[in-house]
Amino acid sequence: MNIWKSVMKFIYHFASPKHFYRISGKMIPWLGWLAAILLVVGSIDGLFFAPVDYQQGDSYRIIFIHVPAAWMSMFIYMVMATAGAIGLIWKIKLADVIASSSAPIGAAFTFLALVTGAIWGKPMWGAWWVWDARLTSELILLFLYLGYMALESAIEDPRAATRACAILAIVGVINIPIIHYSVEWWNTLHQGATVTKFDKPSIHISMLIPLLLMAIGFKLYYASVVLVRARNKVLYNEQNNRWVKEIVQANA
């Protein structure tokens, strides 16, 4: 119970705009450098040291970008929906800031997943695009991200925009399990899961390691960038508060 109270105390302390700005400023360099190291190591390992696939040859190497990007597209949307729910229920302003700051990053990862998927699909399927269940549901996810950002920009009242966007994000969560299980529910061209299998991954360890390095690197990259964006939004939202004016004066 004491541990739970300590955790909740830290969360509420961190959710304070002033303390969030201070703590996140210390976290960003560490997250950024760790992300850069993992992405460089993962890229080199995946592109130059991972073995050639016996069926796809070297063309499979795009998975080291495509798969982590696809994972991030779903992960970030879940973060947005969770943050939106927290903002609606507990009225924590920072949660709304995180959701809003995450949308462009999630859209970028979704677009990257679709583009790299098309590049991979051309030699494998003979076409840049097919109306495959997973590809279509991933495209819908991109539209959800774009719709979120468009809705936020279209509503002048910030509070009304925040509520509308939170509801959209929560409703759109239904698309996430569709993306994940589409290859099992429908007859699709997209291959099934190779890493997230309950028994064991059907991918060789020499390919799995760089894939996981890239996945962790992408997550750390997202964490660092979303904190940067959130800090800027916090400063804008709290610009009339004393602590923001003190920061501006100190950096003038």
Top pLDDT among 10 and 105 is at 105
Q: What per-residue confidence (pLDDT) applies to 85?
A: 97
Answer yes or no: is pLDDT of 191 > 80. Answer: no
Of 247 and 11, the structure prediction assigns the larger pLDDT to 247
Residue 149 placed within a domain: yes
pLDDT of residue 192: 58
**pLDDT above 60 for 196:** no
User: Does residue 38 sit within a domain?
Assistant: no
Domain assignment present for 243 = no
Does residue 84 fall inside a structural domain? yes
pLDDT, mean of residues 11-24 = 86
Q: Answer yes or no: is pLDDT of 248 > 90.
A: no
The pLDDT of residue 55 is: 80
Tell me what the pLDDT averaged over the chain comes to.
91
Task: Give the number of domains in the chain.
Answer: 1
By CB neighbour count within 10 A (0-12 exposed, 13-18 middle, 19+ buried), where does 128 fall? exposed
In a domain, 8, yes or no: no
Tokens of 198: 């309950």
Examine the pLDDT at 92 and tell me if it is beyond 70. yes
Is 140 domain-assigned?
yes
User: How much is the pLDDT for 187?
Assistant: 64
Q: Rounded to an integer, what distance in angstroms lies between the CA atom of residue 39 and that of residue 172? A: 30
Confidence label for 126 from pLDDT (cuts 50, 70 and 90): confident
CB 134 within 8 A of CB 182: yes
Specify the pLDDT at position 132. 87
CA angle 186, 62, 41 (to 5 degrees): 130
pLDDT score of 200 more than 70: no
**198 pLDDT tier (thresholds 50, 70, 90):** very low
Mean pLDDT of 25-43: 98
pLDDT at 43 over 60: yes
Kindly indicate the confidence band of residue 3, based on its pLDDT and cuts at 50, 70 and 90. Answer: confident
In a domain, 19, yes or no: no
CA 98/CA 88 separation, integer angstroms: 13
Domain range enclosing 200: 56-237
* Position 11 in a domain: no
**Buried b vs exposed e over 191-219: b needs ≥16 C-beta within 10 Å?**
eeeebeeeeeeebeeebebbbebbbbbbb
What's the pLDDT score for residue 172?
98
pLDDT digits (tens, 9 = 90+) for 45-64: 999 999 998 888 898 999 99
